[in-house]
Chain A
Amino acid sequence: MTRIVVEQKVLKENDRIAAALRARFRDAGVFCLNLISSPGAGKTTLLERTLEGFPAGERVAVLTGDIQTENDARRLACFGFPVRQITTGGTCHLEARMVERALADWRLEDLELLFIENVGNLVCPSSYDLGEALKVVLLSVPEGDDKPLKYPAIFHKAELLVLNKLDLLPYTPFDLERARAHARRIHPGMEILEVSCTTGAGLNTWRQWLKERREAARREAALTR
């Protein structure tokens, strides 16, 4: 019996494509975010609120992933920015090659900001790098404040936690302080924003966060070029 040492990542091929995408985003000056949450936490609604706040001509686009239907792309297309649906046909997450294929005929040079809305799922998307600058995880109040402890992988990997549906706090036992503590136990120093896409509370802070991160990414890209 011979033991052959291999030592390679199982998702080597995905990581290779993701690295190529990341290089393309960097060269084109595109700041790319990968939005991850369970189904119904409000990814599409957060994007609607975000897109409606942008002036016409803003260089922003969205790729939105779902197992079935083009509903999300339809909801997002009415703001006049490029939107493309990725229908996975059963796969519970997006993979780098799906993003690569969806972007094939887009000129990245025309964009500055790209949102990738992942398939609703707190588990599987955490394993797949899509070439994004950073991952954002959404958690909504009705889901419960224990989710960071139950799904540590995504809370560990995401740079920002957006707590959504804050308007529902009075109707649930969700404890904001406990949710923050759970998230930071998994991810010390995690950035956390609190919003309600229904009332609009906190959305200005989210827009400000986006603006600052875009500018930081732009400065960084200018330095490495």
Chain B
Amino acid sequence: MHELSLAQTLLETVEAEARRRPGAHVVTVGVRVGELSGVDPEALSFSFEALVADTALAPLALAIERCPRRHRCPRCDFTFAATDSDFACPRCGSTPTRCVGGDELELTFLEVEEP
């Protein structure tokens, strides 16, 4: 359960951003969470809500974009979202394919209401 400390880190970043824009109110924080990041999006949301409630930033929404594990086919160069059961290339049927994404844990955007 490290989502609480991740939520705290996120909140600190938002606070720093808010300080750079006096008078602005951050309404939404966008994050990208990959399937292989080891982060549970629901636990992250829950922790974030709990932490935000006690700050001047409330109300502040968290918008989570979930990213699937992605593979690239070495033969035809096709990139695709891979499921646990089948990592074969859906275009040419090649296997094995190489994992090229899905471990993202990124702050992507802030939505801000400016005065």
In the bound complex, CA of A127 to CA of B38 (Å)? 6
- Encode contact with B along A181-196: 1 for CB under 8 Å, 0 otherwise: 0000111110000000
Total B residues in contact with A, Cβ cutoff 8 Å: 35
- Chain A: how many interface residues by the 8 Å CB criterion? 31
Q: Which residue of B lies closest to A156 (CB)?
A: B36
Complex Cα gap A154–B38 (Å): 8
Q: Say if the beta carbon of A85 comes within 8 Å of chain B.
A: no
Least CB distance from B105 to A in Å reads 5
When the two chains form the complex, which single residue of B5, B30, B102, B111 contacts A2, counting CB atoms closer than 8 Å? B111
B94 on the interface (CB 8 Å rule)? no
Chain A 3-49 residues near chain B, CB threshold 8 A? 3-11, 13
Set B31, B37, B110: member contacting A3, Cβ < 8 A? B110
B54 at the interface (CB under 8 A from A): no
Q: Is B84 part of the binding interface, using a Cβ–Cβ cutoff of 8 Å?
A: yes
Whose C-beta in chain A lies nearest to the C-beta of B104? A9
> Is there a chain A Cβ closer than 8 Å to B52's Cβ?
no
Q: Which of B96, B103, B106, B107 contacts A156, CB < 8 Å?
A: B103
Interface hub of B2, B17, B27, B39 (most chain A Cβ within 10 A): B2
B binding-site residues for A, Cβ under 8 Å: 1-2, 5-6, 9-10, 13, 17, 27, 30-31, 35-39, 69, 84, 87, 96-99, 102-103, 105-114
Q: Give 15 A-B contacts (CB < 8 Å), ordered by A residue.
A: A2-B113, A3-B111, A4-B109, A4-B112, A6-B30, A8-B106, A9-B107, A10-B31, A10-B107, A11-B105, A91-B5, A127-B37, A127-B105, A153-B103, A156-B103
